[in-house]
Amino acid sequence: MNFILEGFRKGVILLFGLNSEVLAVLKLSLYISILATFIAVCIGVPLGSIIAIKKFPLKKIIIALINTGMGLPPVVVGLFAVLFLSRNGPLGFLQWLYTPKGMILAQVIIAAPIITGLSLAAVQSVDPRFYQQILSLGATTRQSIWVLLKEIRLSVLAAVIAGFGSIISEVGAVMMVGGNIKGQTRVLTTATVLETNMGNFDIAIALGLILLTMSFIVNLALTFIQQSEDR
């Protein structure tokens, strides 16, 4: 119990004392995960909607693949990302290994299937006649999807929240692809692992609590947007 209280105390001190290392790590965590979420949303929401609406061969298999992708272990994604981004790998020319760009790539790969799958389910749960109603009002396909998404914005935002949650908290991918380099690729999760390895359990707990708090604040903002639409 002592541990936890000590961790709390340390966390408050680190954060409000504006400890530069902690702030750098915090900024990078938010930057990478929020940017990755944004990219994953840009891919996942339209993709999920189109797959839900259109008919095409192998539709069920594609959906099964997306559902499988929702459960991709981050550490496996990290492993494959490293293999691809390493000097000898096919994408080595990008020089993204051990950089935030590589970490964002890995996190997009983790979050995109989740957001796609949840958007897909949200759109599929809508009465198909409702979509026809939108079309009958004179909407193009693009306009129809936009109107439909506005109607189910609660579910779409839930997908965004789920996507963000999955990557702000993961450590496997960012550790492998980023390398936990101080000042360059160290984020809250990997810093927590490091402090634990060093035996600095109080700092580790502090970082963990900071991570939870930050995650809560971002989710609070998203939830406000989500729930304000529910009148």
Partner 1 sequence: MIEIKNLKLDFPGRLNLFINKLSVEKGRILAIIGPNGSGKTTLLNIIALFQKPDNGSLEIFGENIFNMKDKLAFRRETSFIFSQPYLFNETVYNNIALPLCLRGMHDTGAVDEMLDLFKISRLKMNLAATLSQGEKHRVSLARAFVTKPKLILLDEPFLSLDSRFKESLISDLRRIIKLNKITTIFVTQDQSEALALCDTMAVMINGRVLQQAGPEDIFTRPGSKEVADFVGIETIIEGPICKKEGNLCFIKVKDKILEAVSEYSEGDDVFICIRPEDVVVSKHIDTNSARNHFKAIIINIEPWRLEYKLSLDCGFNLAVSVTAQSVKNLDLRIGQEIVASFKATAVHLIRRGSQDDTI
Partner 2 sequence: MTKRLVVCVLTFLLFVSLFNPHLEAQENRSAILATTTSVQDTGLLDVLIDAFQKETGLTVKAIAVGTGQALQMGRLGEADILWVHSPADEKQFVDEGYGINRTTFMHNDFVILGPKIDPAKVIGMKNAAEVFKKISSAKALFVSRGDNSGTHKKEKVIWKDAGVLPDKNAYIEAGQGMAKTVMVANEKQGYVLADRSTYLSLKKIIDLVIVSEGDQALINSYSLILVNPDKFPKVNANGAKALFNYLLSRDSQEIIENFGKTKFGEQLFFWDMKDNQ
CA–CA distance, 155 with 119 (Å, rounded to integer): 7
Residues that bind partner 2 (CB under 8 A): 27-28, 30-31, 34-35, 38, 86-88, 95, 98-101, 150, 179-182, 184, 194, 196-201, 225
**Identity of the residue numbered 113:** P
Closest CA to 174 of 187, 165, 162: 187
CA–CA distance, 167 with 162 (Å, rounded to integer): 9
Binding mask 96-135 for partner 1 (x = CB under 8 A): -------------------------------x-xx-xx-x
Question: Residue with structure tokens 């692992």?
Answer: 193
Q: Which is nearer to partner 1, 9 or 150 (CB)?
A: 150
Question: Minimal distance in Å, beta carbon 130 to partner 1?
Answer: 5
Q: Which is nearer to partner 2, 64 or 229 (CB)?
A: 229
Closest CA to 166 of 108, 111, 106, 223: 111
Q: Which tokens go with 94?
A: 């990008």
Q: Of partner 2, partner 1, none, which one does residue 6 interact with (CB within 5 to 8 Å by kind)? A: none
Q: Which tokens go with 222?
A: 């998203």
Question: Minimal distance in Å, beta carbon 74 to partner 1?
Answer: 36
Which residues lie below 8 Å from residue 209, measured CB to CB, with a gap of 6+? 7, 8, 11
Q: Which is nearer to partner 1, 115 or 152 (CB)?
A: 152
Q: Of the candidates 68, 95, 125, 136, which one interacts with partner 1 according to CB under 8 A?
A: 136
Other Cβ atoms less than 10 A from the Cβ of 61: the count is 9
**Binding flag, residue 225, partner 1 (CB under 8 A):** no
Q: Of partner 2, partner 1, none, which one does residue 132 interact with (CB within 5 to 8 Å by kind)? A: partner 1
Q: Which tokens go with 203?
A: 């700092």
**In contact, 134 and 148? CB cutoff 8 Å:** yes
Q: Which is nearer to partner 1, 12 or 225 (CB)?
A: 225
Q: Of the candidates 23, 147, 194, 222, which one interacts with partner 1 according to CB under 8 A?
A: 147
Query: Interface with partner 1 by CB under 8 A: which residues?
Result: 127, 129-130, 132-133, 135-140, 143, 147, 150-151, 229, 231
